[in-house]
Amino acid sequence: MPPEPRVAWEQRWHPLREEWILYTPHRGGRPWIGETHRPADVDPPAYDPACALCPGNRRLRGENPPYAGAYWFTNDLPCFGPDAPDVSGGDDLYRTRSARGTAEVVCYHPDHGKTFVDLTDAEAAAVVDLWADRYQALGARPDVDHVLIFENKGSLVGTSNPHPHCQIYAGGLIYGHIEREAATARRHFERTGEYLGRTILKREEAGPRVIAANDDFLACVPWFARYAYEVFILPRRPVASLADLSPSERASLGLMIREVATRYDNLWKMPMPYVMAIHQAPTDGGDYATYPFHVEFHPPLRKPDTMKYLAGPEVGGGSMTNESDPDEKAAELRAVAGPHYKRMAR
C-alpha cells in the first residue's frame, strides 16, 4: 500500500463516485465576513399539537394513530405516487418516464423532542428493523427500482420539523450516486475479484480516520471525504442492503448511527445538522451482489457557525472542494465520545 501524504493540498480520487475532489486545507481558516449560522439549541416539547408527525395529530390527509414505537406512513404529498400521469416517452433527446412509486415518512419515536441520540438500544434497533422491512416491501413492487432512505436533520438542510424522522423515496429512479456506485463496484470486482466496500474498509480500518467501531461496523471520515465532517459507516462484512443484515447486525448499525450522531452533537455542543443517506442496492431486478452497502453523513457546516456553501466550483463546475484535511477532522470526532453533552450537563 503506498504511503498516504500528510498534508492534503492535492486532488484525491473518490473511488465510489469516480470523480476528483480538490483538497485545500490551507484555505479553511480564511477570513469570513459572510453570513453565519449557528443552529438553535432549544429543547422542543415532548408533544407539539401543531406537529404533523406527533401521535394522534391530524395531517394534511389522515391522522396519526397513538403510535408507541417507530412508525411509518405514506407521505401526504409524495414525490413518487401511484397517481402520477402516464407519459409519452418523449423523443430520443427529450425523454420522459413516469413518476410512479411512493414516498413514506418514518417517525423514529413518538416523543417530539427526541433525536436519534436519545433512542435506547432497542429503539435504535427497531428503527433499523423498520427500514429493512420497508426496503424489502417497497423493493418488491414492480414500480420501484430503488429505495432511498434518508434523514435531513436541522433547518440548515431544510427541515423545519424537529420531530425525529426520516423519509423514503421509492419509485422508478435509481438515484445517481447509487447507480454510479453500483457500476463502479461491479467493475472493481471484475478487475480485482474484491468487493469495493471491503477494499475501502481495509484501507480505512488501520488508518487515522476511524472515529468509532463495533463488531459489525466501522465509522470513519473517509480519505475521499467531500465535506469537512463527512462520515461513512462501513459494514465489516460485504453486504448489499439492509435486507442482508442479521438481526444482531441491524442492532449494531443502530448503535453506530447513534454513536456518530452523538459525536456530531458533542463536537460543538449543539445539534449538528446533516443529511444521512443509506446507500443500498437497487431493486430493479439487476444483479447487485457486489453493491457496497454503507451509510453516509454529510453535515453542511465546516465550523460551528459557517456553512460549506456549494457555489462556483461545485454548482458551476460540478466538482467538490473540501477546505479541510480528513485526518484532522477524524481526530476531532474521535476526541468527543459520548455520553451526549446534554446528559453530561444534567
Backbone dihedral region of 81: left (phi > 0), alpha (psi from -120 to 50 degrees) or beta? beta
Kindly state the cell numbers that stand for 179: 447507480
Give the shortest CB-302-to-Zn ion separation in angstroms: 30
Give the shortest CB-59-to-Zn ion separation in angstroms: 11
Which residues 236-275 are close enough to bind Zn ion by CB under 5 A? Answer: none
Catalytic residue selected from 112, 165, 188, 294? 165
Kindly state the cell numbers that stand for 135: 426496503
Q: 51 or 245, CB closer to Zn ion?
A: 51
Query: Which span (46-54, 215-223, 305-313, 331-339) binds Zn ion, by CB under 5 A?
Result: 46-54
Q: How many residues bind Zn ion (CB under 5 A)?
A: 6
Whose CB is nearest to Zn ion? 51
14, 16, 25, 53: which one binds Zn ion (CB under 5 A) = 53
Q: How far apart are CA 143 and CA 285, in angstroms?
A: 11
DSSP string, 46-77: S--TT-SSSTT-B-SSSB-----S-EEEE-SS
100, 109, 112, 263: which one binds Zn ion (CB under 5 A) = 112
How many CB atoms are closer than 10 A to CB 98? 14
Give the shortest CB-217-to-Zn ion separation in angstroms: 29
Give the shortest CB-152-to-Zn ion separation in angstroms: 15
Query: Which span (52-60, 95-103, 170-178, 265-273) binds Zn ion, by CB under 5 A?
Result: 52-60
Give the shortest CB-51-to-Zn ion separation in angstroms: 3
Q: Which of 288, 299, 283, 294 is nearest to 333 (CA)?
A: 299
Asked if 163 is part of the footprint of Zn ion (rule: CB under 5 A), the reply reads: yes
54, 124, 200, 234: which one binds Zn ion (CB under 5 A) = 54
Which residues, other chains included, contact 55 with Cβ-Cβ below 8 Å and sequence gap of 6+?
A: 47, 64, 65, 66, 67, 68, 71, 110
Q: How far apart are CA 166 and CA 174, in angstroms?
A: 19
Give the shortest CB-44-to-Zn ion separation in angstroms: 8
Contact mark string toward Zn ion, 174..213, x via CB under 5 A: ----------------------------------------
Query: Which span (51-59, 66-74, 280-288, 308-316) binds Zn ion, by CB under 5 A?
Result: 51-59
Residues in the chain: 346
Pairing of strands 321-322, 19-23: parallel
Asked if 51 is part of the footprint of Zn ion (rule: CB under 5 A), the reply reads: yes
Which residues, other chains included, contact 74 with Cβ-Cβ below 8 Å and sequence gap of 6+?
A: 102, 103, 104, 105
Give the shortest CB-131-to-Zn ion separation in angstroms: 20
Q: 113 or 338, CB closer to Zn ion?
A: 113
Query: Which span (86-94, 125-133, 156-164, 305-313) binds Zn ion, by CB under 5 A?
Result: 156-164
Q: 109 or 302, CB closer to Zn ion?
A: 109
- Helical ranges in the chain per DSSP H: 121-139, 176-192, 196-205, 247-268, 326-334, 341-345
Query: Which span (142-150, 160-168, 185-193, 333-341) binds Zn ion, by CB under 5 A?
Result: 160-168
CA-to-CA dists, residue 7 to 23, 92, 141, 303, 313, angstroms:
10, 48, 48, 20, 22
- Residue 165 a catalytic site member: yes
The residues assigned a catalytic role are: 165
Residues binding Zn ion (CB under 5 A): 48, 51, 53-54, 112, 163
